[in-house]
A and B are shown apart, each in its own frame.
Chain A
């Protein structure tokens, strides 16, 4: 591990220890925050319960569905906008303000449309993630150096060859960034939806624990969730850095 990696570990460890100490010493009210050790115990106990395992599985499945849909549709949208620069220009202000609107307020509409199942949640995760994928696809495609395309022409590559051997590898880091955002945003959308109205999933379980003043379960589920999302993102982040490095910086 690098030096900054060790320092990072020490910083995080120190923060957890500090929280533990201030909870144990009563500097922070126990009704608000419980010590990290009790959170870990809560997480362990929650994982042992069958219904919680079902909630976790339901959430992961929903996120996976919305992720796949967002990647496919977002990529297609990005390619389309790249081909139509005028449409892209006109859409720019809307894309930029897209994330200011809490999309999950449309959840009731989706319930009416799709019925009371997991699809309204998939839809929320999807509409949250798809625009990030499209924007990053667009970014990557417009940053393929023109010299690459000219070289492809000189070598008389066919359209398919140009796409597979020149454009996609050159745009890969940005496409990957889009995928990374799709994971994060699918999680955010699905959990938000579960929080608001759904009857299952981790988001619902956390809200339920909060409403029944069950702090250990609530914090346990929270650190489980953050741990899962954090781990997935850390892996993707490291991978992404390597991609950019291989490409010789951004």
Chain B
């Protein structure tokens, strides 16, 4: 499966000057986006699309509110737990399915089908099974994030070149040694790509869970603002989420590129 957010990593030169222009490009792009946003705000009016400055002011007001730390902590706790479960679970499922060819063949279409169904409709079931509260949110985050991680890991294990195993055999490595010094280094770059997608989707799932199954957290703040048509708060929270998610995914993307560069060209 090709992950939606699986942006093809490009060759990165170690050249400092090129890195500097790349950084400058990102700054230019961000300035352009902010300008576009401001233009849209002028064109559509403040009630429909608050300006960047107004959104920042609103965000500052939200973040200094005494309730905010409680909501943020709740979301962070749910997301952290969901992420650990999704990554660890996806990794184990992927390793098993990748190592055993037949199970992988049986499971892959099922996983792909599960990945593509609109999981938001499962929220009544999750609520009925887990009740209102943090466990429902965690479950929602996990069902969104675990499948891409599993599929990426499975494909990574399957794509290990046969010759590596022959080399391991020639060197008489034990099973544990093979796993540690052959399978792990060979699969880590792909697994990190899967983690990148898993991270984004687990966050999405956790937020959706909070929107429907909770009285606390950023998702709850979002849905409340949505229901009262408080566009300013929606924009401010969306900005906060976009910033956090982009920062996290930039770190993972940098790691991803570094790892992919370290292995043989795909």
Complex contact A195–B120 (CB within 8 A):
yes
Given contacts A181-B4, A233-B112, contact A100 B200 (CB under 8 A): yes
How would residues 190 to 234 of chain A score, 1 for a CB under 8 Å from any chain B CB and 0 otherwise? 011001110000010010001000000010001001100110011
Report the count of interface residues on A (CB-CB < 8 A): 68
In whole angstroms, how far apart are the Cα atoms of A115 and B226 in the complex?
16
A51 within 8 A of B: no
Q: Which residues of A contact B201 (CB under 8 A)?
A: 99-100
In whole angstroms, how far apart are the Cα atoms of A73 and B248 in the complex?
28
In whole angstroms, how far apart are the Cα atoms of A87 and B241 in the complex?
23
A33 to chain B, nearest CB (A): 7
B109 within 8 A of A: yes
How would residues 126 to 160 of chain A score, 1 for a CB under 8 Å from any chain B CB and 0 otherwise? 00000110011011001100000000000000000
Complex contact B28–A90 (CB within 8 A):
yes
Interface centre among A86, A90, A94, A97 (most CB of B within 10 A): A97
Which of A41-49, A64-72, A102-110, A162-170 makes up part of the contact surface?
A: A102-110
Q: Which residues of B contact A32 (CB under 8 A)?
A: 125, 128-129
Q: Which residues of A contact B25 (CB under 8 A)?
A: 86-87, 89-90
Q: Which residues of A contact B63 (CB under 8 A)?
A: none
Q: Which residues of B contact A31 (CB under 8 A)?
A: 128
Complex contact A93–B22 (CB within 8 A):
no
B208 within 8 A of A: yes
In whole angstroms, how far apart are the Cα atoms of A177 and B4 in the complex?
10
Interface centre among B107, B120, B208 (most CB of A within 10 A): B120
B256 to chain A, nearest CB (A): 9
How would residues 26 to 47 of chain B score, 1 for a CB under 8 Å from any chain A CB and 0 otherwise? 1011000000000000001001
Q: Which of A7, A99, A102 contacts B208 (CB 8 A)?
A: A102
A83 within 8 A of B: no
B13 to chain A, nearest CB (A): 12
Q: Which of B44, B113, B231 contacts A233 (CB 8 A)?
A: B113
B67 within 8 A of A: no
Interface centre among A87, A101, A195, A197 (most CB of B within 10 A): A101
Complex contact A89–B22 (CB within 8 A):
yes
Complex contact A100–B249 (CB within 8 A):
yes
Q: Which of B7, B49, B242, B248 contacts A109 (CB 8 A)?
A: B49
Q: Which residues of B contact A210 (CB under 8 A)?
A: 124
Q: Is chain B's binding surface mostly helix, strand, loop or mixed?
A: helix
Interface centre among A98, A102, A187, A210 (most CB of B within 10 A): A102
A201 to chain B, nearest CB (A): 11
A113 within 8 A of B: yes
Interface centre among B106, B112, B204, B237 (most CB of A within 10 A): B106
In whole angstroms, how far apart are the Cα atoms of A46 and B229 in the complex?
33
Complex contact B29–A91 (CB within 8 A):
yes
Complex contact B207–A33 (CB within 8 A):
no
- Please name the residue on chain B nearest to A133 by beta carbon: B4
B170 within 8 A of A: no
B238 within 8 A of A: yes
B203 within 8 A of A: yes
Q: Which residues of A contact B238 (CB under 8 A)?
A: 101, 105-106
- Please name the residue on chain B nearest to A187 by beta carbon: B118
B264 within 8 A of A: no
Interface centre among A2, A183, A195 (most CB of B within 10 A): A195
B163 within 8 A of A: no
Q: Which residues of B contact A106 (CB under 8 A)?
A: 234, 238
B117 within 8 A of A: yes
A16 to chain B, nearest CB (A): 13
Q: Which of B4, B47, B219, B253 contacts A93 (CB 8 A)?
A: B253
In whole angstroms, how far apart are the Cα atoms of A226 and B125 in the complex?
14
Given contacts A92-B7, A136-B2, contact A196 B226 (CB under 8 A): yes
Nearest 4 A/B pairs, CB to CB: A184-B116, A100-B245, A100-B200, A4-B105
- B residues sitting closer than 8 Å to A (CB atoms) are 2, 4-8, 10, 21-22, 25-26, 28-29, 44, 47-49, 102, 105-107, 109-110, 112-113, 115-125, 128-129, 196-197, 199-201, 203-204, 207-208, 211, 219, 222-223, 226, 229, 231, 234, 237-238, 241-242, 245-246, 248-250, 252-253
Can you spell out 5 A-B residue pairs with CB atoms less than 8 angstroms apart? Answer: A4-B105, A93-B253, A96-B249, A97-B200, A98-B5
